[in-house]
Structure 1
Amino acid sequence: MSIHLTPEQEVFVRTKLQLGKYQSAEEVLEVALGLLDAHDRAESEWVEQVREKIDAAICTSDSVPAVDGESVIHDILHRLQQRHQIQG
């Protein structure tokens, strides 16, 4: 397989090589691909955790009575007004 780098990518790789941390362009690419793999795995784990939390919330919502959104907002505003009056 051959790959073609943009001029910016070539400068990036050359800079890494000049700094002496990497011995070859292949080594730079190996590290980059390893980081990409780790990122993809972490993202997949995060998505799975979010799905589990959503499923748990759905299960919980089945056993909790519904709440009227307008009433909740009214209660929040009322509590904020009370705090403001106490602090004011």
Structure 2
Amino acid sequence: MPAVERLTITMPAEMAEILRQTVAGGEYASASEVVREALRDWVRNRDTERRDLEALRAAIRTGLDSGPGIPADQVFAELRARYAVKS
């Protein structure tokens, strides 16, 4: 079993009450279990956000490396001209 370290945490009274009710309801055996699961979820979310951010940065790099861009006004003007309805 990994080393265990004892920590003291401070939280708003409302959160402490939710934690106590969760343990009292039998969903978890202890407040420590609740906090450990919350931290595991936080780590997973943080890792997902980091991966998403890196994917976005890679997409931006790919776009920048693909060559010069075309001004949006020019693109839309060309599209309007191409698909203009002839009356």
Query: Do Structure 1 and Structure 2 share a fold, with TM-score over 0.5?
Result: yes
1:7 aligns with 2:10: no
* Structure 1 residue 76: Cα displacement: 4.1
CA distance 1:27–1:66, change in 2 (3 Å): closer
1:70 aligns with one of 69, 73, 76: 73
Letter in 2 for 1:4: T
Q: Letter of the 1:69 partner, please give it.
A: A
Judging by fraction of residues, say which structure has more helix.
1
Match of 2:60 in 1: 54
Aligned match of 1:42: 48
Helix, strand or coil at the partner of 2:8 = coil
Q: What are the ranges of 5 or more consecutive residues in structure 2 without an aligned counterpart?
A: 1-6
Return the alpha-carbon distance in structure 1 between the equivalents of residues 25 and 56 of structure 2: 40
**Alpha-carbon shift at residue 11 of structure 1 (Å):** 1.9
* Distance (Å, rounded) in 2 between the aligned partners of 1:59 and 1:48: 16
- Could you tell me which runs of 5 or more consecutive residues in structure 1 were left unpaired when the two chains were aligned: none
Residue 16 of structure 1, CA deviation: 1.6
| Aligned structure 1 segments of 4 or more residues deviating by more than 6 angstroms | none
2:28 to 22, 33, 44: 22
Aligned residue for 1:5, secondary structure, equals coil
Deviation, structure 1 residue 74: 2.6
